[in-house]
Amino acid sequence: MFGYSCMLKGGVNWDIINSFMVEAMNIVRERVEELGHRSKLYIYTLKAIAEGRDRWKEIKMTVEAWIMRPLHNPQITRILNNLVKMGIIDRFGERYTISDPIMRSYLRSMAL
């Protein structure tokens, strides 16, 4: 779609780039909202990873601080495993990262 738009307009320009970024951010917002309907813990977990808490313990402690209650270890493990299965995050050894840079940017700027 991006390449086709550039071809029609005779090349890349900032209007095309901006319109695709707006569209991409809207898609990401909708996806994050869908996850929030499953459980707000998905959003808190993704936000923690987007802010650089990329290890299991750091993620768990950050989410617990935000929700002001303890989580059982299997809860956070289940959420992380589900996010990996959905392709939203990747796991590299002990570290987690958000797969999509646009989603990562959106989550960094999102207020809880």
Give the model confidence (pLDDT) of 22-72 as tens digits: 888 999 999 999 999 999 999 999 999 999 999 999 999 999 999 999 999
Going from the N-terminus, what domains does the chain have, and what CATH number goes with each? 2-109 (1.10.10.10)
What pLDDT, on the 0 to 100 scale, is given for residue 20? Answer: 83
What pLDDT, on the 0 to 100 scale, is given for residue 15? Answer: 79
In this prediction the pTM is 0.86
Phi-psi map region of 68: left, alpha, beta (phi>0 left; psi -120 to 50 alpha): left
Average pLDDT over the chain reads: 91
